[in-house]
Every structure is written in C-alpha cells, then in structure tokens.
Amino acid sequence: MGSEDDPFTGGSIDAARRRLAHEFRRGGLDAPELDARIIVGHALGLDHTALAAQSSRMLAAEEAGAIAALSARRLKREPVARILGRKEFWGLPLKVNAETLLPRPETETVVEAALAALDCEHRKSRALRIVDLGTGSGALLLALLSELPSAFGIGTDISFAALRCAHDNAAALGLSARASFVACDYGTALREPVDILVSNPPYVARADIAGLQAEVRDFDPRRALDGGPDGLDGYRAIAPHAARLLAPDGILVLELGQGQLGPVTAILAAAGLTPVAPRYDLAGIARALVLRALP
Ligand SMILES: C[S@@+](CC[C@H](N)C(=O)[O-])C[C@H]1O[C@@H](n2cnc3c(N)ncnc32)[C@H](O)[C@@H]1O
C-alpha cells in the first residue's frame, strides 16, 4: 500500500478514486466525487467505462504519481477543465489554455439570443458575416459558425496565445475555412460591414476580482475578467466599433454581467444603437443584450 508521501502506489484504482474524493471533500471542493473520477481517469488515460472495468486493478508507481500530481493541482483550486485542457461549449469540445477564459454555460445565452434574433427562414442559407470581439478560445464564433453553415467570421483578441487556441479549435472542428483570427484591440483592425457582432468582454469591476472564487480569480486570465473600475470599460471600448461596423440590418449581441443591463444599454444607446431585447440565463439574470443600429 502507499505511504504518506505516495498515498496511491500499490492501492487499487478504486481506492485511489475514493481517497481523492475524501481529500477533495475535506478541501471543500463543490463536486468531490465527480472531480475525483475525472482526475483519476485523466491521469490514467481511461474513460468512464474503462475506469469502472479496471476499478480493482493495482496502480503502478508512475500512475500513482500522475494521480497525486493532478490531485495537488485541484486542491490548489485549479478547475478540472484547466487540468484536462478542454471544455465543452454549445456541445463543441474546445481546447483551452492559460490565456483563455474557460467558456461558461451562461455564455451560451449569447448564442441563443443571436440565433433567435436572425431571420429564421433565411439564416441557414445566407453568407452572414460574423465578428467575435475578444474571442478567447473561439467559443462564441465557433458555436455560431457551427449553426450557420454558410456564414464566415473573424475572431479578435489581444492575446496571441488565445488566438492560437481559437485557431486550433476552428481546425479541430473543421471550421477553419470559414474562420479567421486577428490580433487587435477589439475591432480596430476591421473595416468591412458585419451582420452579427458578438462579444463577451471582460466585465468584472476591478475591486470585485479579489472576492471571486479561487477557481476564477487565480486561474482565469486577468485580462479576460478585468472590466476596469466599474466593469464597463469593455462595453465603452466596443461601442464605437459596433456603431462603425454593423451592417444596416446587423445585430450586436453582448454578454452582460449581473446588474449591467441598464448601464450597458445606456453606453450603446449613446453610440447610436437601439436595444431590441435582453435574454435571460437559467439563473434568471439578464445575460445577453441584442441591439441594432438606428435606421
Ligand atoms: C470574458 S473573455 C471572453 C472569451 C470568449 N469570448 C468566451 O466567451 O469564452 C474576454 C476576452 O477578451 C479579450 N480582450 C480583453 N481586452 C481586449 C481588447 N482590448 N481587445 C481584444 N480582446 C480583448 C481577452 O483576452 C479575453 O479573451
């Protein structure tokens, strides 16, 4: 059996999983059983079924070491998706890295709002031009391209590492021919009119970052979170680009932080954009705002 330094060697896979779940529970993690199962499976390269089938097999020393190393990372609050290096968004498996935000389920509200705001009959057939400002892993752009087979789009970001990740995700999903990526400050490098402009800008008020849960505060990139003193700097920066780039019948869809519907509507209205409707996430928070250019 394992020692204090190496608690897993010589024990079974199932014993390691149970021990990990116990440590995670003691460490105050939200989903100790699930995290333990995923981490043991990842360390051993086994999926859920193989893990169950091999549960009584004894661990070799290097396998035990791999489990111990990943478990230490999780106990320091690194999210499971960062340990795995992937996260699902809109049913798409996306690679993530240290410079990309982990795509959030509530961001799917932006995709839903954009699709709902399009002309339903024609949306699948039109060669719509999509832009995603601050694309990160490419989540929003790639989700929209996956739904709109004749559309093409551009994702921008100020992080080269994020853009490389988005580019790789587009390739892995077979969407490269319709997706390109540009390093620039929001929309500064773009000139052509856009039919669907989406963005999930950094929107946490700077002073609130210290109070976020450790998984977010310590592992999501700061520039994906920090929305300036009041959390609204990203919207102020995006507003003139939206006013300049939106095609006459184009739509702008923005993700919102909690309580930002009023202030973001005011910022965009001052730039000449009219709010159509907010869309609410599963928690009942106004999460996406659809706007159009004034005729
Ligand atoms: C909240 S994250 C959103 C990432 C991705 N769109 C998503 O929803 O998962 C914001 C993104 O904006 C990028 N960003 C921050 N400031 C920017 C700027 N001035 N110009 C372009 N991108 C920026 C960050 O690097 C980050 O990838």
DSSP symbols for the chain: ---SSSSSTTSBHHHHHHHHHHHHHHTT-S-HHHHHHHHHHHHHT--HHHHHHTTTSBPPHHHHHHHHHHHHHHHTT--HHHHHTEEEETTEEEE--TTSPPPPGGGHHHHHHHHHHS-TTTTTTS--EEEEES-TTTHHHHHHHHH-TT-EEEEEES-HHHHHHHHHHHHHTT-GGGEEEEESSTTTT--S-EEEEEE----B-GGGGGGS-HHHHTTS-HHHHB--TTS-HHHHHHHHHHHHHEEEEEEEEEE--TT-HHHHHHHHHHTTEEEEEEEE-TTS-EEEEEEEE--
CB 276 within 8 A of CB 229: no
- Pair of tokens at residue 288: 């996406």
Residue nearest atom 4 of ligand 1, based on CA coordinates: 136
Residue nearest atom 6 of ligand 1, based on CA coordinates: 135
Q: What distance in angstroms lies between residue 133's CA and the mean position of ligand 1's atoms?
A: 7
* Ligand 1 neighbours (beta carbon < 6 A): 101, 103, 107, 134-137, 139-140, 156-159, 162, 185-186, 200-202, 223-224
pLDDT the model gives residue 3:
56
pLDDT tens for each residue of 95-130: 999 999 999 999 999 999 999 998 654 666 789 999
pLDDT tens for each residue of 195-211: 999 999 999 999 999 99
Q: What distance in angstroms lies between residue 96's CA and the mean position of ligand 1's atoms?
A: 13
Rounded mean pLDDT, 217-224: 98
Q: Which atom of ligand 1 is nearest to the CA of 104?
A: 9
Averaged pLDDT of the chain:
94
State yes or no: pLDDT of 1 exceeds 60. no
- Where is average pLDDT lowest: 116-125, 132-141, 203-212, 259-268? 116-125
Say how far apart CA 242 and CA 133 lie, in whole Å. 10
Which of 132, 158, 226 has the most ligand 1 atoms within 8 A of CB, as the residue to mutate?
158
State yes or no: pLDDT of 21 exceeds 60. yes
Q: What distance in angstroms lies between residue 118's CA and the mean position of ligand 1's atoms?
A: 24
Of all residues in the chain, what percent carry a pLDDT higher than 70?
A: 95
Rounded mean pLDDT, 52-61: 93
Q: What distance in angstroms lies between residue 63's CA and the mean position of ligand 1's atoms?
A: 37
pLDDT the model gives residue 277:
84
State yes or no: pLDDT of 39 exceeds 70. yes
State yes or no: pLDDT of 10 exceeds 90. no
Q: Which atom of ligand 1 is nearest to the CA of 201?
A: 10
If one compares 24 and 4, the residue with the highest pLDDT of the two is: 24
pLDDT tens for each residue of 67-84: 999 999 999 999 999 999
Q: DSSP states of 124-175 as a string?
A: TTS--EEEEES-TTTHHHHHHHHH-TT-EEEEEES-HHHHHHHHHHHHHTT-
State yes or no: pLDDT of 251 exceeds 80. yes
State yes or no: pLDDT of 225 exceeds 80. yes
pLDDT the model gives residue 140:
98
State yes or no: pLDDT of 4 exceeds 80. no
Rounded mean pLDDT, 271-287: 95
Q: Which atom of ligand 1 is nearest to the CA of 103?
A: 9
Q: Which atom of ligand 1 is nearest to the CA of 159?
A: 25
Phi, psi of 143 (to 5 degrees): -65, -45
pLDDT the model gives residue 274:
95
Which of 110, 159, 198, 260 has the most ligand 1 atoms within 8 A of CB, as the residue to mutate?
159
